[in-house]
Amino acid sequence: MNDVYEQLKYLLRPSSVAVIGASREPHKIGHQVLKNLLKGGFPKNRIYPINPHAEYILGLKCYPSVKDVPYPVDMAVIVVPARIVPKVLQECVEKGVKAVTVISSGFKEIGRVEEERKLVEIARKGDMRLLGPNVVGVCDTIKSMNASFCQDLPYRGDIAFITQSGALGIALVGWTKLKRIGLSDLVSIGNKADIDEVDLIEFFGEDPYTKVITLYLEGITRGREFLQIARKVSKKKPIIMLKAGKAERTVAAIKSHTGSLAGSDIAYEAVFKQAGVIRAPTFPDLFDWAIAFSSLPLPEGDNVIILTNGGGAGVMATDEAELRGLKLMDIPEDLAEKLKEFMPPFGSVFNPIDLTGMATKEWYRGSLEVLLADPRVHSVVVIYCHTAQTEPREIGDAILEAVKSTGREKPVIASFIGGEECYEECERLTAEGIPCYESPERAIVALSMLYKYRDFTRRKETVPPIFAVNIEKAQRVLKVAKEEGRKILTPYESAAIVKAYGIPVPEQGLAKNEEEAVKIAERIGYPLVLSIESPDILHKTEVGGVKVGIENAEEVVKAFREIINNVSEKAPHADIRGIVVRKMAPPSREVIIGMHRDPIFGPMLMFGSGGILVELIKDVSFRAVPLTVEDAYEMIKETKAYSLLKGFRGMPEADIDKIVEIMLRIARLANDFPEIADIDLNPVFVYEKGKGCLAADIKIVLQ
Ligand code: ACO
């Protein structure tokens, strides 16, 4: 067990709880918290109300200060006005309280940042973890602890729910009860001054009572830690996230392509993919999927069967399955023969298997048993449309009997369509461990989430090799720019840096005069591009600072002179450092590789279709650093550029492995130099497999 688990155990599974600010007035929150603790079933003799003005509240002995409690206190809930919180917090430290929940509002959320920071300082000095401030509290069904002002404890279950919105937390307790969904814990995180979602994911990752971790979040603060912890925990338990705030764009407008394409939600989306976090668009979806994960094993293979008594419902399910990438198994002949025993002659053994409106309890049970016993079948969706032929309860029994008789080794999900009886049967089946939904699509989507998560757990995570790079060389180039107070590096400087990191760039040299230019040209060969090197000129073509297609020494001299003349005329005050003589890269398929430093998640890598239409096409994918080898390949596969690179219309396959290497090297560069804000390699020419790439145009911007 790790440190965070040991620390948060006192918050979520304490043996004793003090309520500081336990009020005598029934309408006050401090009174309600005390009442809720009692009502929830937490041991009465381990609840200590603290109030200097009262002797007894709700029949419990009161203490003037937590320091006066003669027993150890694991957790204290603080419900006094903000101005008194630092004082009582200090008393908690002196008492040796292990964790506190600060319900009180009136801190960072109203601009009192310093006051909130002070709370954390007191808690940290006292080795005490702090939840809040500005929270509803904590509900833990394992210890029957309702240390919150939620009316009731949720039903007991194995889904943990972490919420950034307190009001939503309270509302959802009612909603989960209505839907008969059980939770292990409900934790409101409020201002997240100390304990945040990363800590809680880590705790629930270790918690033996929690199978599924669900969250409602508006934002993540410790982005890199989130990726690291969530990625680790996801391998053991599914994390389902409802992340609100899609429309927000917190990333400042940045001039490079990468920057302008990066929005904060894009970054979240990318990180969730990397961390295996399943993103739910709505609460019903979040709990639909959580229930499926909580009740079912993961499928061992890809073959899905749809069993129905209604053709239409079967078709709807099939459409959704195809959309979600599920594989509907073609029924082998021997299996079809067995299934025919359980349907009329006009039934269908095509998948979806249609038992027809005549389907009986026996047919449902028989066919499901045959399917579950067949090793080629890996998961089954059972659909039932209420007909006059059977009652939902009978079909529910048939499913349960079949599942029980064959062992619960494969996921079986149901969908019952009809009136009240169907609704009730759905609830019963769900409670019995067969998640049942009111529409076939919801059942299929829930199953597809099991597959998605299964794929994540099976995914290899290969740490990139340690590339040989020339850090000193890159440092030297960056030092010059920093000393001159420049944020945008020249293309020549940018090329020097990426080259130092082993990224192939066209051969080039900086010439101070015509003779040097010719010498460089003769060394690297033709055709060439000559371009002005000046930190003051961002748009070289506009001042006549670029000449392309230079084929011989004579043309070099001519181009050199023309560029100098043009620039002297159009940008007379520019600081000219020379002229870059660069080999023209042979054109090929173009991609963009970039890096943008996100304020929350740090360096984000970008890959996409390159060239001048980048912003128009927006065929890009993002992932955060650290990037695994698989992340890089996945990024490429997500884009349309992938089809082009694989060999579109008879083209040979391009050097995808080299693109991956460049991406991993850029990730390393971004990690080594936090002062780099953006890197843009556009276009990168990608040649045939085995023949490499060339980053033709490079732009680096500093923070
Ligand atoms: N130690 C212990 N108790 C004390 C102390 C002390 N040092 N000093 C005073 N008290 C007692 C008071 O005497 C009072 O008890 P009494 O009513 O028996 O006299 C009790 O503590 C509470 O103090 P009050 O001053 O009456 O404070 P009140 O209950 O009005 O408000 C509260 C306190 C609830 C913490 C309020 O300041 C607050 O922050 N409310 C907002 C809470 C909230 O909404 N949190 C976010 C949830 S998230 C969401 O959006 C839903």
Residues of the chain with CATH 3.40.50.720: 3-210
CA 522, 523, 527, 529 torsion-angle sign: negative
Centre of ligand 1 to C-alpha 258, Å, is 49
Centre of ligand 1 to C-alpha 152, Å, is 20
The 10 Å Cβ neighbour count of residue 432 is 15
Centre of ligand 1 to C-alpha 248, Å, is 34
Residue 488 pLDDT > 80: yes
pLDDT digits (tens, 9 = 90+) for 428-450: 999 999 999 999 999 999 999 99
Kindly indicate the confidence band of residue 408, based on its pLDDT and cuts at 50, 70 and 90: confident
Centre of ligand 1 to C-alpha 80, Å, is 3
Centre of ligand 1 to C-alpha 84, Å, is 9
Per cent of the chain over pLDDT 70 is: 97
Q: Where are the beta strands (DSSP E) in 457-515?
A: 508-511
Q: Where are the beta strands (DSSP E) in 438-550?
A: 508-511, 528-533, 546-550
**Can you give the pLDDT at residue 59?**
96
Q: Which atom, in ligand 1's list, is nearest to the CA of 78?
A: 35
Contact 564, 534 (CB under 8 A): no
Kindly indicate the confidence band of residue 280, based on its pLDDT and cuts at 50, 70 and 90: very high
Residues of the chain with CATH 3.40.50.261: 297-458
Centre of ligand 1 to C-alpha 76, Å, is 14
Atom 14 (ligand 1): residue with closest C-alpha?
Answer: 23
**Can you give the pLDDT at residue 1?**
62
And the tokens for 377?
């079948």
Residue 19 pLDDT > 60: yes
- What lies within 8 Å, CB to CB, of 93 at 6+ separation is 122, 123, 125, 126, 128
Rounded Cα–Cα distance for residues 262 and 621 (Å): 10
Which CATH number describes the domain made up of 471-583? 3.30.1490.20
Q: Which atom, in ligand 1's list, is nearest to the CA of 105?
A: 39
Rounded Cα–Cα distance for residues 541 and 94 (Å): 70
**Can you give the pLDDT at residue 257?**
39
Pocket residue to mutate for ligand 1, from 32, 80, 85, 104, most atoms within 8 A of Cβ: 80
Q: Sort 214 into a burial class: Cβ within 10 Å, 0-12 / 13-18 / 19+.
A: buried
Atom 45 (ligand 1): residue with closest C-alpha?
Answer: 134
pLDDT digits (tens, 9 = 90+) for 607-651: 999 887 777 778 999 999 999 999 999 999 999 999 999 998 888
Mean pLDDT of the chain, nearest integer: 93
Q: Which atom, in ligand 1's list, is nearest to the CA of 65?
A: 1
Centre of ligand 1 to C-alpha 111, Å, is 20
Pocket residue to mutate for ligand 1, from 51, 73, 78, most atoms within 8 A of Cβ: 51
Pocket residue to mutate for ligand 1, from 19, 20, 27, 29, most atoms within 8 A of Cβ: 29
Rounded Cα–Cα distance for residues 368 and 675 (Å): 61
Kindly indicate the confidence band of residue 179, based on its pLDDT and cuts at 50, 70 and 90: confident
Residue 336 pLDDT > 50: yes
Q: Which atom, in ligand 1's list, is nearest to the CA of 82?
A: 37
Of 105, 96, 102, nearest to 128 by C-alpha is: 96
Contact 501, 470 (CB under 8 A): yes
**Can you give the pLDDT at residue 538?**
82
Rounded Cα–Cα distance for residues 287 and 180 (Å): 11
Residue 260 pLDDT > 50: no
Atom 21 (ligand 1): residue with closest C-alpha?
Answer: 21
Position 340, amino acid = K
Contact 205, 238 (CB under 8 A): no
Tell me yes or no: is domain 297-458 CATH 3.40.718.10: no
- What lies within 8 Å, CB to CB, of 420 at 6+ separation is none
Q: Which atom, in ligand 1's list, is nearest to the CA of 53?
A: 13
Residues of the chain with CATH 3.30.470.20: 589-702
Q: Which CATH number fits domain 3-210: 3.60.20.40, 2.40.240.20, 3.30.1300.10, 3.40.50.720?
A: 3.40.50.720
**Can you give the pLDDT at residue 699?**
94
Centre of ligand 1 to C-alpha 45, Å, is 23
Residue 250 pLDDT > 50: no
pLDDT digits (tens, 9 = 90+) for 23-58: 999 999 999 999 999 999 999 999 999 999 999 999
Centre of ligand 1 to C-alpha 388, Å, is 59
Residue 262 pLDDT > 80: no
Centre of ligand 1 to C-alpha 133, Å, is 13
Centre of ligand 1 to C-alpha 497, Å, is 58
Atom 49 (ligand 1): residue with closest C-alpha?
Answer: 166
Q: Which atom, in ligand 1's list, is nearest to the CA of 167?
A: 51
Rounded Cα–Cα distance for residues 657 and 544 (Å): 38
Q: Which atom, in ligand 1's list, is nearest to the CA of 50?
A: 2
Q: Which atom, in ligand 1's list, is nearest to the CA of 54?
A: 18
**116-130, 249-263, 277-291, 511-525 — which is least confidently predicted?**
249-263
**pTM exceeds 0.85 for this model:** yes
pLDDT digits (tens, 9 = 90+) for 505-560: 999 999 999 999 999 999 999 999 999 999 988 888 889 999 999 999 999 999 99
Atom 48 (ligand 1): residue with closest C-alpha?
Answer: 166
**145-159, 259-273, 341-355 — which is least confidently predicted?**
259-273
Rounded Cα–Cα distance for residues 311 and 355 (Å): 9
Rounded Cα–Cα distance for residues 293 and 411 (Å): 10
Centre of ligand 1 to C-alpha 29, Å, is 7
Q: What average pLDDT does the segment 398-422 reach?
A: 94
**Can you give the pLDDT at residue 251?**
40
Centre of ligand 1 to C-alpha 35, Å, is 14
Rounded Cα–Cα distance for residues 421 and 392 (Å): 6
Rounded Cα–Cα distance for residues 107 and 115 (Å): 6
Q: What average pLDDT does the segment 415-440 reach?
A: 95
Q: Which atom, in ligand 1's list, is nearest to the CA of 134?
A: 46
And the tokens for 144?
């029957």
**Can you give the pLDDT at residue 474?**
97
Rounded Cα–Cα distance for residues 635 and 640 (Å): 11
Pocket of ligand 1 (CB under 6 A): 20-21, 23-25, 28-30, 50-54, 79-81, 84, 88, 103-106, 134-136, 166-167
DSSP designation for 49: E
Q: Which atom, in ligand 1's list, is nearest to the CA of 84?
A: 7
Q: Where are the beta strands (DSSP E) in 418-502?
A: 436-437
Residues of the chain with CATH 3.30.1490.20: 471-583
Centre of ligand 1 to C-alpha 147, Å, is 14
Centre of ligand 1 to C-alpha 325, Å, is 53
Centre of ligand 1 to C-alpha 38, Å, is 19
Provide the CATH topology of domain 589-702.
Answer: D-amino Acid Aminotransferase; Chain A, domain 1 (3.30.470)
Q: What average pLDDT does the segment 579-589 reach?
A: 94
Atom 37 (ligand 1): residue with closest C-alpha?
Answer: 81
Centre of ligand 1 to C-alpha 136, Å, is 13
**Can you give the pLDDT at residue 212?**
98
Atom 29 (ligand 1): residue with closest C-alpha?
Answer: 28
Strands lying side by side in the sheet with 17-20: 47-50, 17-20, 75-78, 99-102, 129-131
Pocket residue to mutate for ligand 1, from 20, 23, 68, most atoms within 8 A of Cβ: 23
Q: What average pLDDT does the segment 152-169 reach?
A: 94
Centre of ligand 1 to C-alpha 171, Å, is 22
Atom 17 (ligand 1): residue with closest C-alpha?
Answer: 23
Pocket residue to mutate for ligand 1, from 28, 101, 151, most atoms within 8 A of Cβ: 28
Atom 19 (ligand 1): residue with closest C-alpha?
Answer: 23
Rounded Cα–Cα distance for residues 311 and 347 (Å): 10
